[in-house]
Amino acid sequence: MNQFMVEVTLPETLTQEIVELVPSQRNFVDDLLQRGVILSYTLASDRSKLWVVFDAMDAKEVRTFLNAFPIIDFIEYTIHELAFHNSADSVVPAISLN
């Protein structure tokens, strides 16, 4: 598997149509996070950009996931293949409660 950073440009104006898609978008992203397809999902404070890190075979597979985003008709994106993606989650082991 390879890792890809996707820079998503959101529309300057959030229409009612886009706002109504947000819950579906969040549910879809949450599912991909749980499955390990999305490693991180970050929204800029001014809501102009999203940064999404995918774990996928290739850029074509990333595009397949992006094209399934409920908000796909309202965004533009650029895919960047990464050499690596480190995060605190990957460094700190999970706590076991047993």
Q: Do the domain assignments include residue 12?
A: yes
Residue 96 lies in a domain: no
Q: Is residue 95 a part of any domain in this protein?
A: no
Number of structural domains the chain divides into: 1
CATH number assigned to the domain comprising residue 82: 3.30.70.1060
Q: What is the pLDDT of residue 7?
A: 98
Residues in contact with 38: Cβ distance below 8 Å, sequence separation at least 6, in sequence order: 29, 32, 52, 53, 54, 55, 65
pTM tops 0.95 = no
Give the range of the structural domain holding residue 11, as residue numbers without chain letter: 2-89
Question: What pLDDT is stored for residue 90 in this prediction?
Answer: 60
Residue 67 lies in a domain: yes
What is the tens place of the pLDDT at every residue in 3-44? 999 999 999 998 999 999 999 999 999 999 999 999 999 999
